[in-house]
Structure 1
Amino acid sequence: MNEYLFPFRLFVRVAHTGSFSRASKELGISQSSASRIIAALERDLGVMLLVRTTRAMALTPAGASYLANIEPILAAFEEANFAAQGGG
């Protein structure tokens, strides 16, 4: 996956797993790196995507909306790459 899109892919994994730890393991990065990447994404967007506590993580309303919009974009990007590489 394109390095530029990694923060978005990470956000989707965090949202689906409900855990920075699980998402970071799936993507091969440290939990602290995952947290920093998501914090930077939130800063860039100017909105909180996740509510974090010591025991849980949940999407904010903005986060839920962002997830619904970013997933099809990532899927379309992956499909375009697959097609460009002769897979479809």
Structure 2
Amino acid sequence: MTLSQTPVKSLSLYHYDACPYCAMTRKAIQKLELNIEHRNIQQQTQHRNDLIQGGGKKQVPCLRIEHASGETQWLYESNDIINFISQ
């Protein structure tokens, strides 16, 4: 079983309002009626710092996937995020 197939504990979307790829991702989350925490990196410095420290870069959108095993996965690219949440 790969990390992406392990049970998910929580999901957080790192984004900012003016990003068109973030908007596309937020729309998909809304359409699927998923309960995913939104973390705006422009409004909260700590969210930006967490993204850089955990994911390795400031790119958005980024989905932080916390697995039940305690491991954390950082998923970049809007299409990859939408594919992941659609499964």
Q: Which has the higher contact order (CA 8 A, sep 6+)?
A: 2
Structure ID, larger Rg = 1
If each structure's strand is expressed as a fraction of its own residues, which one has the higher value?
A: 2
TM-score by length of 2: 0.35
